[in-house]
Amino acid sequence: MSTLTATAEEPRTTPARPAYRVTGRRVLASEWAKLWSLRSTWITLGLGLLFLVAFGLISASRYKSGIGSGHMDRDFADSTAVSLSLFGTNFAELALGVLGVLVTAGEYSTGMIRSTLAAVPRRLPVLWSKAAVFGLVALVVGTVGGFVAFLFGSGIVSGTPAAMSLSHAGVLRSLLGAGLYLGLVGVIGTALGALLRSVAGGISVLVAALMLIPGLISLLPSSWRDDISPYLPSNAGESMFALTHDSTTLSPGAGLMVFLCWTALALGGAAYRLARTDV
């Protein structure tokens, strides 16, 4: 009688999947890719850059024509090459702020935020990454636009009382301050989009904070207006890149600190809602 020896079949081994961990760098890379995959990003950033450069050149040309004709508008009488070149900042801030709102609120309107938070369950890194990525992009666009507007604008007003160069005191600080201001406006827009989760609501609050409220404050008695006005977001931000200051405005350092507080307030509110409520 023969004995059959059964050989046990070796179990099949499937290759183990690599373990992917959610890291801050990967979340940043994801938000970077999502930002540039949207057509609205390219269009709105282009508009922000166009507003900053075009309005700066238009104001410089208007100043030059006023000097040549001898009929200078009072609003331009004390202008400098810096103030003329940065005339379009108020228009660029709207474009960059609105895009910041779209970066976060747009995901809520499309429902894509569910996939984003499923991939990053801790949630808050998503907000920090969105704010950091778009804030950096807005900073670069604002800084480049400010320098381009100044280089061309200063050429237009050369030979006039407004003429300045990069070597003049305060010019570099003003141009860099304008870029930083626009970068922080982008962060505030991102925070408002995450806080309100509505594109229309975020844009409305942004426009009210930067444009409508300063106009309403101007209707108050002068004693109240002088105490409140310098600490409004737009006025504090303007003092960051203004070349000259008086008793009714903040210094560049103080303006930066106040505007950083407004930015932190918006981010804090967005982080609280994101961490405490469902999608």
Mean pLDDT by 10 residues, the chain (279 residues): 48 55 85 91 94 94 80 73 93 95 92 87 91 97 96 90 88 95 97 95 95 87 85 93 85 95 97 85
Integer Cα distance of 184 and 186 in angstroms: 5
Question: Residue 265's CB: how many other CB atoms inside 10 A?
Answer: 13
Q: What angle do the packed helices 39-69 and 124-156 form, to 10 degrees?
A: 30
Structure confidence at residue 66 (pLDDT): 81
Core vs surface per residue 221-234: b (16+ CB within 10 A) or e = eeeeeeeebbebbb
Strands in the chain per DSSP E: none
Structure confidence at residue 278 (pLDDT): 66
Structure confidence at residue 4 (pLDDT): 45
Structure confidence at residue 41 (pLDDT): 92
Structure confidence at residue 241 (pLDDT): 93
Q: Give this prediction's pTM.
A: 0.89
Helices assigned H by DSSP within 7-80: 24-36, 39-69
Q: What angle do the packed helices 171-196 and 89-110 form, to 10 degrees?
A: 30
Can you give the length of the chain in residues? 279
Would you give the DSSP letter of residue 230?
G
